[in-house]
Structure 1
Amino acid sequence: MQTIDLRGRSLSTAEMLAAVPRATAARAEALATATAIVEDVRVRGEEALREQAERFDRVSGHAIRVPQEQIDEAAAAVAPQVRAALEAAIDRVRRGSAAQVPEDRVTQIGPGARIVQRWQPVGRVGVYIPGGKAPLASSVVMNVVPAQVAGVGSIALASPPQQSEGGRIHPTILAAAALLGIDEVYAIGGAGAIGALAHGVAGIGLEPVDVISGPGNNYVASAKRAVAGVVGTDSEAGATEILIVADAGADARLIAADLISQAEHDEQASAVFVTDSVDLAERVAAAVADAAGRTRHSVRVQAALEGPQSAIVLVDDRAAAVAFSNAYAPEHLELHLVDAEQAAGAFTSAGAVFVGDQTPVSLGDYMAGSNHVLPTGGQARYASGLGSYTFLRPQQVITYDHAALAQARAGVVALAEAEVLPAHGEAVEARFEPAPVTVA
């Protein structure tokens, strides 16, 4: 990993971000390709999906709509320890998601005048689950459970057909879907899956959805941008990110392990370590170098750690570490600080904050009860991770009786005249005019 020394410098937000650039070139290149794939699916439907499956997944002649027997077989065959872990994760995420559903609130504006703020679930959700470098069964849990907790009545799941499985979806992904009661599953991958969920495909009985969620590569993220305005999406999540802030007393071995755990995802993953301790920085660099070559996906890990998007960053003090972290706005933020719980409040921009050295990101990836679908690329400055609220629409229900309308009457008329929209005022005045007499 490179070391970047920011000590003794007063940097703007832009300068701090320039110090550790994100991997953005691949996303820009993917947008045109993803847009064309989505449009092809919209126009040609199943024919386009089959051509894309042969081209990208090296699969042909497979069942795009997954038969129920394949889902049942996967559920029956899943290893007992994996089934138990999925069931535990479902329970924890369900409990964590329940706190994200607001209660209806009634505001009494005056006698006979009230506004009810209620939260309505969308009608139908499409969930995309990658199946390339890692069959993310945990992402089935993270996407489906919040939608179910929100009250969504119809959920469709798409995941790539696997050549190694004879054109079927990875069985662990199917098993997770089965445990959640999802029976509408499609063997579709990449940007084509996003296009199919957004526009629907009549030939396979796939109806369009209202919101699409789920992680994916740059083409999936770009496809979400291509369908924006047609459907809602959770985020354009890119390659995973971890930023760790630590002080001199932190354990270099644990920091190295956590950096490597996220670098394992993808060659474009970002692993950033920030500290004001030169000694700790040197020990972390040595620990990373020692451990990275021994992990199973060492080639992928080393590519990520050696990329320009990963670095050890030296800063002057805690305040500078906070400023850097908040400017960078990482997907995952770990605090290995002696006073981590007290310090956490200062770190305001992160997809999720993992407090203390016994709370690694990998816990959040699977079993913490929090959600692991989080904003990347600095979006944590203004966006949140996936939750039940992703599938809810706030809606105001207004009720006034005649007396309450009378109290607001003059104000409506005055503002309507000021805006030269007299019919607005006339619509209110009509309610105070005598009803016309009907002659028999």
Structure 2
Amino acid sequence: MSTQALIRRLDSRTADFTATLDALLAFDNSTDVRVNNAVGEILAAVRSQGDAAVIDYSNRFDGLNVKSIEALELPRRELQAALDSLPAESRAALECAAERVRSYHEKQRLESWSYTEANGTRLGQKVTPLDRVGLYVPGGKASYPSSVLMNAVPAKVAGVGELIMVTPTPRGERNPLVLAAAAITGVDRVFTIGGAQAVAALAYGTQSMPQVDKIVGPGNAYVAEAKRRVFGTVGIDMVAGPSEVLIISDGTGNPDWVAMDLFAQAEHDEVAQSILLCTDAKFIDAVAASIARLLPEMPRRDIIAASLANRGALIKVADLDEACAIANRIAPEHLELAIEHAEPWVEKIRHAGAIFVGHCSVESLGDYCAGPNHVLPTMRSARFSSPLGVYDFQKRTSIIHMSPAGAAELAPVAATLAYGEGLQAHAKSAEYRK
């Protein structure tokens, strides 16, 4: 297979480049009618029937045979047993990653503040943690302990009162790494429930499961659609799209490293996106050769090949300034600056979920153990949103304590504006405080 067949080659100098790039970036994140209908039915059933619907869907979809929600809740001792059963190397890695994530997020904690004006009026902001949060974690053969770390740790740092994890166990298959991560991070309760029914149970509450205030964590199309629909009843982190990496290269470094970094995103699924912007045509040739040589060695080569062919690109750019301008247009989830002297170029980037600076700052380290959160905005939403953090598990309340003098001073201002809006009761309410 030719390299061109593996991944497209583009040049920013061509007349149709912008249109071609926009077409490459376009992704329809809407769900199909079958998913929409199924999710609507599940949400309605759980909302009206509670435990009975959750049990029915869990038995039907996960091949279980349970009679009560209690049978779907794991005791704390089982989480600890999963942690204790891990090989020493796995446990050490999990604990190291958890500690690094915790250390980073502790610096994000918001604090309440206030100030007092000369007339005695006190204004401020009270910061409080959410009471209860639900964490969805894919289960079964899929193993995402990193999702537990990245969601549970900032919630606990924020001071969330109760953290409830849901994770499916198809045919009763439980993932020890996921359960061990729940033990390490101090998850309060774990239910072996998945799919849209788990989201519904968290959002609405049932006879045996309390309603949460916010739902976080990744899932399949059914989970994503369920989260989208319950938003407003509860908060959600985001409805994420396919994973993305954009690499900016000045032609220095090792082309094998760049090829493997592209693979690392492409192996997620066939619609993940991996793009290289490079100033050096010969280096692009070298990366293309690395892709062709390394791909057959990859266990997930079919997924990688489909991803690169569907949504990948190697793009020749005029210079690093142009590369940064294109990067800001793309607003990628992950941005790697594979540049010899990378630090000055960080200031040129306005839109990215996370920036990895220099040849050694590989995105896969960020996924697991660098410290910053790996839950990042996708589909160009880095233009207006941020990585998941402690602040997502805290809420802010305004504090307004008017002194008599302050109320008298501001009453005419408020009344004038209220009369201008035709709201006479507002105006009178203010004027009573003169």
TM over 0.5: yes
Identify the residue that residue 438 of structure 1 maps to in structure 2: none
**Residue aligned with 1:99, SS:** helix
Go from structure 1 to structure 2 and tell me whether the alpha carbon gap of 1:291 and 1:49 turns closer, same or farther (over 3 Å shift): farther
Contact 2:43 2:196 in 1 (8 A): yes
Q: Distance in 1 between matches of 2:111 and 2:17?
A: 41
User: What are structure 1's unaligned runs of at least 5 residues?
Assistant: 433-440
Identify the residue that residue 92 of structure 2 maps to in structure 1: 84
Identify the residue that residue 248 of structure 2 maps to in structure 1: 245
What's the offset of the Cα at 1:260?
Answer: 1.2
Identify the residue that residue 286 of structure 2 maps to in structure 1: 283
What's the offset of the Cα at 1:99?
Answer: 1.9
Do residues 359 (structure 1) and 361 (structure 2) align?
A: yes
Identity over the aligned pairs, expressed in percent? 38
* Paired residues for 1:252-331 under 5 Å: 252-306=255-309, 308-331=310-333
Match of 1:422 among 417, 424, 427: 424
User: What are structure 2's unaligned runs of at least 5 residues?
Assistant: 1-5
Contact 2:24 2:311 in 1 (8 A): no
Corresponding letter in the other structure for 2:81: E
Contact 1:409 1:429 in 2 (8 A): yes
Query: Runs (4+) of structure 1 moved beyond 6 Å?
Result: 10-14
Q: Distance in 1 between matches of 2:289 and 2:34?
A: 35
Match of 2:112 among 98, 104, 108: 104
**Residue aligned with 2:146, SS:** helix
Corresponding letter in the other structure for 2:333: E
Contact 1:16 1:324 in 2 (8 A): no
Corresponding letter in the other structure for 2:290: A
Match of 2:352 among 350, 353, 373: 350
What's the offset of the Cα at 1:276?
Answer: 2.4
What's the offset of the Cα at 1:32?
Answer: 4.3
What's the offset of the Cα at 1:161?
Answer: 0.8
Q: Which moved more, 1:250-259 or 1:419-428?
A: 419-428
Contact 2:377 2:386 in 1 (8 A): yes
Identify the residue that residue 435 of structure 1 maps to in structure 2: none
Q: Distance in 2 between matches of 1:422 and 1:210?
A: 37
Q: How many pairs are equivalent?
A: 426
Q: Distance in 2 between matches of 1:281 and 1:198?
A: 48
Q: Distance in 2 between matches of 1:133 and 1:283?
A: 36
Go from structure 1 to structure 2 and tell me whether the alpha carbon gap of 1:355 and 1:93 turns closer, same or farther (over 3 Å shift): same
What's the offset of the Cα at 1:29?
Answer: 6.6
* Paired residues for 1:185-264 under 5 Å: 185-202=190-207, 205-264=208-267
**Residue aligned with 1:206, SS:** coil
Q: Distance in 1 between matches of 2:241 and 2:59?
A: 25
Go from structure 1 to structure 2 and tell me whether the alpha carbon gap of 1:293 and 1:329 turns closer, same or farther (over 3 Å shift): same
* Paired residues for 1:154-169 under 5 Å: 154-163=162-171, 167-169=172-174
What's the offset of the Cα at 1:15?
Answer: 5.6
Identify the residue that residue 3 of structure 2 maps to in structure 1: none
Identify the residue that residue 390 of structure 1 maps to in structure 2: 392
What's the offset of the Cα at 1:188?
Answer: 1.2
Do residues 42 (structure 1) and 50 (structure 2) align?
A: no
Corresponding letter in the other structure for 1:53: S
Contact 2:336 2:363 in 1 (8 A): yes
* Paired residues for 1:146-185 under 5 Å: 146-163=154-171, 167-185=172-190
What's the offset of the Cα at 1:256?
Answer: 1.0
What's the offset of the Cα at 1:121?
Answer: 1.4
What's the offset of the Cα at 1:55?
Answer: 4.2
Q: CA RMSD for the aligned pairs?
A: 2.2
Go from structure 1 to structure 2 and tell me whether the alpha carbon gap of 1:261 and 1:133 turns closer, same or farther (over 3 Å shift): farther
Do residues 116 (structure 1) and 124 (structure 2) align?
A: yes
What's the offset of the Cα at 1:214?
Answer: 0.8
**Residue aligned with 1:250, SS:** coil
Query: What is the TM-score when the length of structure 1 is the normalising length?
Result: 0.90
What's the offset of the Cα at 1:262?
Answer: 1.8
What's the offset of the Cα at 1:218?
Answer: 2.5
